[in-house]
Amino acid sequence: MKATQKLHDLGQSLWLDNITRGLLASGTLQRYIEELSITGLTSNPTIFDHAIKNSHDYDGAISQKLKEGKSGETLFFELAIEDLRQAADLFRPIHDRTDGVDGWVSLEVSPLLARDTAGTLAAAKALHARAGRPNFLIKIPGTSEGLPAIEEAIFAGVPVNVTLLFSGEQYVAAAEAYLRGIERRIAAGLNPDVGSVASLFVSRWDVAVAKKAPESLRNQLGIAIAWETYGRYRSLLDSPRWQRILNAGARSQRLLWASTGTKDSEASDILYVQALAKPFTVNTIPEVTLKALAAHEEFGEALPANADTVLAEFAKAGIDTDAVAAQLLKEGVASFAKSWNDLLDCIASKSKTLTAA
């Protein structure tokens, strides 16, 4: 049995953390769906930046949009929505077959809105309306300003992928924002079936403490944080509050593992995939990690979830995980904003080149 199929049978969804026009046109994404159990897809500005910068696949579309007077952010979102609509259509049979549990694609609001509640909500509603697909998640950051936008977007019926989560506490806050939105829909007599995932970033933890942690704890912090968060997730799913919304026709917001590519060249290429093989979750993995996983006929059993023990060892080593979580969120917001600006610079440069040609 392929390792990808084993994860699927365990109850974990594998989503691809990549999208390019070439991936669609070549039939590669369709092959991943058919052969490697890929059941969804996520995107981000860096992915689109690399796709546009490193190929000519978008040149014709950009030229046409420039003739129509479009540029910058407006031009980018048109390109992104075109790609993601095609991907959403490929995943639509999965979405229909699972009654909306799986088969989603994700598009991010501008990261420059991470601290702007009203702007984030307006952008989320507009992008969802433009997408015109039922299996289209809008990514909203789980910042303090993003939480009210998440609640309001869910209440408005906009499916949400909560991004930039780094800790169990931050996950619970995002889950509660989702719950409030659903509870308000139920109270208003609206359909409570609004899809959502909550994306916890994993490998960035190990990068952040690589020079501080003892060698015996190398590459263990991100996994321990994920295990601890998974415990909170399962407790929430079993809570009376969550059961009430399920009884009213809602569905569970799923916990998603993000940033699961191995960063340490000396570690296993499927380190985080193996450690986070847990049911009722999603793992969105980079294409290189998917290929590495596909090369493994078996990848062993998931490691034992001794999160408390591992976290206690990090505390003894003088690592304050609350401080690291705050640092990671701050750096994540800044990194996403930089990626966005790089993307817009790429589009401006490409537009200038194409206009001159």
> What pLDDT, in 10s, does the model give residues 256-294?
999 999 999 999 999 999 999 999 999 999 999 999 999
Q: Dump pLDDT digits (tens) for 324-342.
A: 999 999 999 999 999 999 9
Query: Interhelix angle for 321-356 vs 221-237, to 10°?
Result: 100
Kindly report the CATH number assigned to the domain that includes residue 246: 3.20.20.70
Mean pLDDT, rounded, of the chain: 95
In single-letter form, the type of residue at position 177 comes to: A
Instruction: Give the pLDDT band of residue 34 (cuts 50, 70, 90).
Output: very high
Helix axes 321-356, 168-187, angle to 10 degrees: 70
Closest CA to 30 of 86, 108, 107: 86
pLDDT of amino acid 236: 97
What is the mean pLDDT of the segment spanning 207-227? 95
Query: Can you tell me the distance from the alpha carbon of 109 to that of 31, in angstroms, rounded to the nearest whole number?
Result: 29
Q: Answer yes or no: is pLDDT of 149 > 70.
A: yes
Our count of domains for the chain comes to 1
With contact defined as beta carbons under 8 Å apart, do 10 and 273 qualify?
A: no
pLDDT band (50, 70, 90) for residue 357 = confident
pLDDT score recorded for residue 305: 61
Query: Which pLDDT band holds residue 301 (cuts at 50, 70, 90)?
Result: low
pLDDT value at residue 234:
96
To the query of whether residue 139 is one of the catalytic residues in this protein, the response is yes
For residue range 67-85, what is the model confidence (pLDDT) as tens digits? 999 999 999 999 999 999 9
Using the predicted structure, report yes or no on whether residue 307 has a pLDDT greater than 80: yes
Q: Quick one: average pLDDT of 197-205?
A: 97
Catalytic, out of 2, 6, 65, 139:
139
The residue among 357, 352, 355, 346 whose CA lies nearest residue 79 is 346
Comparing 95-104, 148-157, 226-235, 305-314, the range with the smallest average pLDDT is 305-314
Domain extent, residue 341, equals 3-356
Number of alpha carbons in the 13 Å side-chain half-sphere of residue 76: 27
- What are the strands, taking DSSP E only, across the chain? 13-17, 38-42, 105-108, 136-141, 160-165, 196-201, 254-258, 281-285
